[in-house]
Amino acid sequence: MYKRFIFLWLPFAFMMLSACRNYYHPKYYTILLSQEIVPCRGWMGMMEKCMQVKDLSNKDQKKSEWEFLYNPIKGFIPEKGYIYQLYVKDTDRGRQIPTDSVGQYWTLVKIIHRQKMDVK
């Protein structure tokens, strides 16, 4: 009787305890935000305007390439003609993330540096 109890209820107890864990741990990044807004292909292949970012958190900074930023940074409105170095946090989007959605949602933690550039 006791063995039957262990074999039936022990897996259930492990399943319930693992469901209570919080798997989300925010990641922090230092990024460089370009002054240029460029055309990019967004959701479902439609042409959009995107900002460009470079991840400075990567140890190989020289190898880091400019990437498109499809979503705005929460809590941040860039001024035209400035290049920014920002400290941002990866934002939790919950458990129900659409498969065709864009990967990153960031929240501004702090503006590290802002530099005026020549507007073309």
* CB neighbour list of residue 22: distance below 8 Å, 6 or more residues apart: none
Q: What is the per-residue pLDDT for 8?
A: 67
Assess if residue 7 is contained within a domain: no
Q: What percent of the chain has pLDDT over 90?
A: 22
Q: What is the per-residue pLDDT for 91?
A: 77
Q: What percent of the chain has pLDDT over 70?
A: 59
Which residue range(s) make up the domain with 72?
24-116
User: Number of folded domains in the chain?
Assistant: 1
Q: Which helix (H) or strand (E) holds 5?
A: helix 2-19
Assess if residue 13 is contained within a domain: no
Cα distance between residue 119 and residue 44, in whole Å:
31
Q: Do 35 and 82 touch, CB atoms closer than 8 A?
A: yes
Assess if residue 4 is contained within a domain: no
Model pTM score: 0.67
Q: Which residue reads 């864009």 in tokens?
A: 102
Edge-to-edge, what's the strand order for the sheet holding 106-116?
67-69, 47-55, 28-41, 82-90, 106-116
